[in-house]
Amino acid sequence: MAHNFFDLTGKTAIVTGTSRGLGQYMGRALARAGADLVITSRDADSLGEFQAEIEALGQKATPLELDVRDETSIEAFARACGKVDILVNNAGCNVRKPAVEISWDDWNTVLDTNLRGTFFVSQAIAKHCMIPNASGRIINIGSVTCVAGYAGLGPYCASRGGVKQLTMSLADDWGPHGITVNCLAPGWFKTAQNQVLYENEEWVEYLCDRIPLKRPGQPNDLDGSVVFLASDASAYVTGQTLLVDGGISTGATKATVD
């Protein structure tokens, strides 16, 4: 029988920040491909419903507490994980304000979560779970803001641009240990963080006008990409940023021809 390069049966995947949003979308995709999950939140009790959903798919789901802004929490988490084949660094946050209104605390909250947290969770899991086994897949969740800037998102854009650069550095660092490190960069998806934007029909129309595929991302639009980067299908892919954005990063806008 031919090998199914996208089969994750027997693999264990950590997905951080799975209390809502994109983390749950990607967790479901990995579970449907056969992976058991370690799911995380700062409040592990909030993961019960999602745990039950994954178990209904026939996969194990282990909820663990993790605060990616806390060194002690990260270290304790990594030591509790056991066997890990895949790490999806999804936990993140955002502060939407004009640049002149961003405070030191705003900046630190976003960068500490999205960039510092991604690095130190990766470091701990690589050290305890992947380097000893000479294998692993790390998927850092970025954003279209890895390659494009938007007003009102200064700290967020800085953090996601940093994740893109960090991905390349870690890929070079850990490639000799059999670990691939890639960045999955979604475009505009409706999540709890940005739901208020999608309540403005005029803004949604403006957004869709800028996206070549003429719609925001839907939950299952990330399924194939996250499974690809987690699986044997991407064994020779590392240090790359995969944009799943409907083409908005091409800079395409509506134009008329006289």
Judge residue 49's burial from the number of C-beta atoms within 10 Å of its C-beta, 0-12 exposed, 13-18 middle, 19 or more buried: exposed
DSSP one-letter code for 189: B
Task: Name the β-bridge partners of 81.
Answer: none
Contacts 24+ apart (CB under 8 A), 65-70: 65/40, 65/41, 66/16, 66/40, 66/41, 66/42, 66/91, 66/121, 67/42, 68/16, 68/17, 68/113, 68/116, 68/117, 68/118, 68/120, 68/121, 69/112, 69/113, 69/116, 69/117
* 156 belongs to the catalytic site: yes
- CB 136 within 8 Å of CB 90: no
- CB 107 within 8 Å of CB 155: yes
Compute CA distances 3 → 31, 200, 231, 233, whole Å. Answer: 19, 47, 12, 10
d(CA 76, CA 74): 6
- CB 188 within 8 Å of CB 248: yes
Q: Find the catalytic residue in 25, 150, 156, 206.
A: 156
- CB 58 within 8 Å of CB 32: no
Q: Which residues are catalytic?
A: 156
